[in-house]
Every structure is written in structure tokens, then in C-alpha cells.
Structure 1
Amino acid sequence: MPVPNPAALDFLLTRRSRPAKTLTGPAPTRAELEPMLTGAARTPDHGKLEPWRFIVIEKSAMARLAETAEKCGQSNGLDPEQIAKGRAQFDQGHLAVAVIEVQKPSEKIPAIEQTYSAGAVCLALLNAALAAGWGANWLSGWPSHDRAFMTQALDLKDNERIAGFIHIATETSAPPDRPRPDLGAITEWVDT
């Protein structure tokens, strides 16, 4: 007989990301962040490859990442609006965890499963931060897909890429809920 955890289920049924631009200081301390990282590291990981790692970006590093995003955007010939949007999460950020996908050679575990696991880590960290009472948002944007940014800002290796930036800080206001998927439209039941 299953043993329900109604509080956990209620959290999942009502969870809502907090827009990063609405977050303010303080951000979690290292001691406060470690349980969230520990929870995220419990993500399903076929083959126990740990195809991900964390880079914690503290407030003092945000300006450097914003400048790097601007320079990379200019080098890529992006328009000023795209560049501004790419650097905004760092200009406004108080603390972010870059979840880094680390592709590892494996005859048994396909690369796509490693990618799925890294994405699951992003969601697990987001939910851990929200469950701990912080405001949190999972962002990507063009800098997270730009190889020059990955190399210059975070010194990533060729087998690494950014799965997402999880911004965590104090929420200033709870956003209203947004429309959710129609379960009937996205669910198929197979019984024979």
C-alpha cells in the first residue's frame, strides 16, 4: 500500500517559478544553498555517470558575466536588444547556479539520456529552492548556448555545456498562476 506524502504532492501541484527580474537580496548563503544542491544531485542518473556539475555564481561575479555576455553578443553581431537581454540576468542577478551538462563517454548510456539528466537536475534544483522558501527561476537565453560565452565566462571544456542558470534569491512578490496544460489534451491512456 503506498504511503502518500500530501505536502510534497501539494507543493508539486502548486509550485510556480518566480521571475528572476523580481528577485532581490539576500540570496542564500553557502550553508543554505548546500542542501538544495544535495537534493538536486539526487536526480535520476542512468549508469551513475553524474553527467552534470554545478558552478555557483555569486553576486560579485555577476558583473563579469554580464560584460562577457555583452562582448560575445557584439562578436556574434547580435542587435542591441538581444545583447541587453542576454546580459540582463547577470546585471540583475544576486546568485545563480549554472548547471553544467558534462557529456561522458559511455557505451551503455546514450548522450541524450545524459542531457535529460542534466535538465532534470535543473528542475530539481529549482524545486528545492522553492521548497526552501526562496524565489527561484530557471533561465537560459542565447549566452547559455554560445560556445564563446561558455568558454570565456565559465571555462567550460568541449564536452560541457550550460543546461541552465537557476537564479535563487528573495522573492519580492508571488506571481499569479499562469495557464497550465489541458491534461486531457496531452494524455493518452493505453489499456490493451
Structure 2
Amino acid sequence: MLNDRSTPLSLLKTRRSGKPREMAAPGPARDQLLEMIEIAARTPDHGKLFPWRFVVVPDEARDVLAARLGEILGAEKADWNDRDVEAAGEFARQAPALVVLLSSPIHGHKIPVWEQELSAGAVAMNLLHAAHAMGFVGGWITGWAAYSPGVTALFAREGERIAGFLFIGTPTRPLEERPRPILSEIVHFWGGRGG
């Protein structure tokens, strides 16, 4: 069974992301979403810098986001078509909850930017774990919007980047397992030499 919440280890062993386009209501209530974010913020963070931020896009702002994504797509992509604009609107409106995670590193700090960016990735994973532990399903998406200067400007402050769009809701169909790595191919025990 995927996303088995019977024990903490069962959840970790069976966690599976959902496809945002296949998520429906109910989604988390505001208090539940804030609790998920609070849990997500309990992540490794060398230097206690909190080099990340969350922007929640509420339901009432989804149509505005859809329109803005369409405008930005038209301005940034020379080969756009009507289907691309439609897909951008669908992206903005999918799943009941949307959290934009921003990587917000402090440049020039003794903690390397790379470590601060890794912390943002850990925050995203913690948010997914919190969503699953509370009985929802989550999906972490990037795509063109995460790398678009125009979309980034909608959410980010100077020096920030979009680490991902985290969608949360209830799956409309059973989750499917995906291929997992073979441990012997990804785990190596160091014997004192390189490689």
C-alpha cells in the first residue's frame, strides 16, 4: 500500500508523490497547511539561516495566477500557441492547495550557497512528508514556470529562485509505484581509495 500511515517508517517506505492534475478536494484547511509548513521548516539548515520562503497561492488567486502565466508565456516564448496558454492555466488551477517554495540564499555568508540550496530541497521534501502524514498527497513540480524570469518575479525577492511548486490535495485515483533504484547500484562502502 502506498502512503501507508500506520507507522512513521511505513510512511517513509511507501511515500509516493501524486500528479497535481489528478488531485481533487478536499485539500488541507488553512490551519493544516500552516502546520505542514511549520513541519517543513524543521529541516537541516547549517547556520540557522532559513534560506527559503513559502508563498501560499490561495484559491481566490488561482485565476489571477493563470492569467499572469499566460501573459508571461506569451512574452517569453516566441513559439507559444493557444494550447500552451491553456496548459499554463491548468497548471495554476490544479490541486486544492499550492505552495511556491523559494530558495533564498544569503550570498557572501560563510555558509556556502550550495548548502543553503540543499536546505531548500530538504524543506520541499519535509513539506511532502507532512502532507502525506496528514492524509493528503503532494507533488513537487518545476517545469518552465520555475525557470521563467517573469514567473519568478511574481513571487521572488532579489536573489531568490523558485525551488518548486508544491501541490497538495486528495488523489482521484490510486497512486502508482514508480521504479526505484537497486540499492547495490547506488550504495557503496568506501574502502580507503578514490571512486
Q: TM-score, normalized by length of structure 2? A: 0.88
Q: Where in structure 1 are there 5+ consecutive unaligned residues?
A: 1-5
For residues 162 and 180 of structure 1, the distance between their equivalents in structure 2, rounded to whole angstroms, comes to 27
Aligned to 2:101: 99
Q: CA deviation at 1:113?
A: 0.9
Q: CA deviation at 1:83?
A: 4.3
Aligned to 2:20: 20
Aligned to 1:54: 54
For residues 112 and 88 of structure 1, the distance between their equivalents in structure 2, rounded to whole angstroms, comes to 33
2:24–2:172 CA contact under 8 A, matched in 1: yes
For residues 157 and 45 of structure 1, the distance between their equivalents in structure 2, rounded to whole angstroms, comes to 20
Pair 1:84–1:114, CA change in 2 (3 A): farther
Aligned-partner residue type, residue 114 of structure 1? Q
Pair 1:190–1:46, CA change in 2 (3 A): same
For residues 183 and 17 of structure 1, the distance between their equivalents in structure 2, rounded to whole angstroms, comes to 20
Aligned to 2:3: none
1:86–1:141 CA contact under 8 A, matched in 2: no
2:103–2:117 CA contact under 8 A, matched in 1: yes
Q: Secondary structure at the match of 1:99?
A: strand
Q: Where in structure 2 are there 5+ consecutive unaligned residues?
A: 1-5
Q: CA deviation at 1:128?
A: 0.7
Aligned to 1:30: 30
Q: Deviations over 1:130-189 (max 9, x none)?
A: 1110121111111111111121x32x2221111111111122222121111111111111
- Return the match for 1:142 from 144, 148, 155: 144
For residues 166 and 90 of structure 1, the distance between their equivalents in structure 2, rounded to whole angstroms, comes to 11
Q: TM-score, normalized by length of structure 1? A: 0.89
Over the matched positions of the two proteins, sequence identity in percent amounts to 35
Write out the 4+ residue segments of structure 1 that deviate beyond 6 Å after TM superposition. Answer: none
